[in-house]
Chain A
Amino acid sequence: MNRPGQRLDCRGQRCPLPVIALARRLPELPVGTVLEVLADDPAAAVDIPAWCRLRDQQFVGSPAPGTYRIRRTH
């Protein structure tokens, strides 16, 4: 079940803004939910997986450039 339940559009935002938005939104969702983040700043490709590692959240993957899926694990 890796289909996103929610979507967060951060296109046009520069890092760290997409990561800040992700950190704010994810705890509002039920545990197990997959959040899809759209971010066109190239730094997001590095920083969203790194944030997931630092925060023990699951980085599900990047199905397309600029699209990132994160599951709330706790």
Chain B
Amino acid sequence: MSYRRWVSTSTPAGYFDAAAAAPLHPVARQALLAALADGWADPAKLYAPARRARQLLEAARGSVAETLGVREDEVHFTASGTAAVQAGLAGRLTGPAGPGPGAVLVHSAIEHSAVLHAAARHRDAGGGVVPVPVDRLGRVDLAAWQAAVTGPGVALAALLHASHEVGTVQPVPEAAAACPGGRVPLLVDAGQSLGRLPVPAGWSLLAGSARKWGGPPGVGVLVVCKGTRWSAPEPLPGGEPGLPAVVAAAAGLRAAAGEAAAEAARLGPLVDRIRATVAATVPDVEVVGDPVDRLPHLVTFSCLYVAGEALLHALDRRGFAVSSGSSCTSSTLRPSHVLAAMGVLSHGNVRLSLHRDTSGAEVDRFLAELPGLVAGLRAEAGV
């Protein structure tokens, strides 16, 4: 069987969903192929090919540590970003280092579902969970956060660095400073920001996902600051990631971080253009998220009187791949908990997330087609 005829290594034009999965960075692709050739052996075995695989694994760990500015022995590889978050939470809340039953987890209302699902399990097991509200721009309410993290029984706080749905960057250093030192470690889910923004200060646990920075799927990273009361869950949620993918993830992170400032300077103005043009050319639209303190590559807006699902399909037919927080596009048929927590319109919602292959021309084609598509759907609905 030949795969060659349907394998493409170029990103299709109009792909605007890097926040779900960024196209594989060419450096990560090269590293993946090299590691498949050279690092196929089981690194736990006691013979020469295994030692070679182990060397590659340690080199990948060293590379990630250097890129993130942490110690090598603080870096753990997991099977996904979700698994990294789960391991971070479980290793603090339920492991031997855990505070015992009834411990309280504080988290922002707009965390990734990986945190919310783990929080629900923690509550079901008898633990306490305190969600902290956000404002209309999606910024955590720091006064409420301070009150929550200094409450009785708090063992862990979780705050995402930047929202995967609306792009708002959270005041992580301020939120970290509010956590009572030593007693309440802060887990920062940096899934959308690693390889794009500098790592914020103040975290004790830091989680990320390789396919968001241009690495391959199936690799997450959890960094646990030395001195944090945490023990690695046994077994690791999701199991161990494959070695070639870990090598590619590390190479991709180094490459992405090296290009981050230049990419932010290129994509930031494209996002500004989308925010301004959509607001000016589409009637009754709400552009959401912080206009300034935000991810450089991500923008979200909601179109009044339009079903998100219909808009996604219309855009797909025109060759655009975008995401939506509207209820009709989710498997649960509930609106995005992020949009709900912010109190912004949830229907007709579209999220664009750009990447290193995104061109200004593609963005302009999107901006030229969107007003007509929205008008067409509104006309169909009789609005």
Contacts and interface: CB of A to CB of B under 8 A. Distances in A.
5 contacts: A15-B328, A19-B304, A20-B305, A43-B327, A54-B286
Given A41-B327, A42-B327, A47 B345 contact: yes
Contact of B335 (A19, A42, A53): A42
A1 to B, nearest CB: 25
A15 B347 contact: yes
A16 B307 contact: yes
Given A14-B307, A42-B335, 5 more contacts: A15-B307, A42-B334, A43-B327, A50-B346, A51-B304
B326 interface: yes
A28 to B, nearest CB: 15
A42 B327 CA distance: 8
B1 interface: no
B143 interface: no
A54 B314 CA distance: 25
A20 to B, nearest CB: 5
A23 B345 contact: no
B343 interface: yes
Task: Categorize the interface residue count of chain A.
Answer: 10 to 19
Main secondary structure of the interface of B (DSSP, over half): loop
Given A16-B304, A19-B305, A20-B305, A50 B326 contact: no
B333 A42 contact: yes
A64 interface: no
Interface of B: 284, 286, 304-307, 326-328, 333-335, 339-340, 343-348, 381-383
Contacts of B307: 14-16
A42 B334 CA distance: 6
B326 A20 contact: no
A53 B306 CA distance: 17
Interface of A: 14-17, 19-20, 23, 41-43, 45-47, 49-51, 53-54
B341 to A, nearest CB: 9
B288 to A, nearest CB: 10
A23 B343 contact: no
Contact of B346 (A15, A17, A23, A53): A15
B347 A19 contact: yes
A43 B305 contact: no
A24 B10 CA distance: 47
Nearest to A14: B328
A45 B343 CA distance: 9
- Pick from A14, A23, A46, A53 the residue with the most CB of B within 10 Å: A46
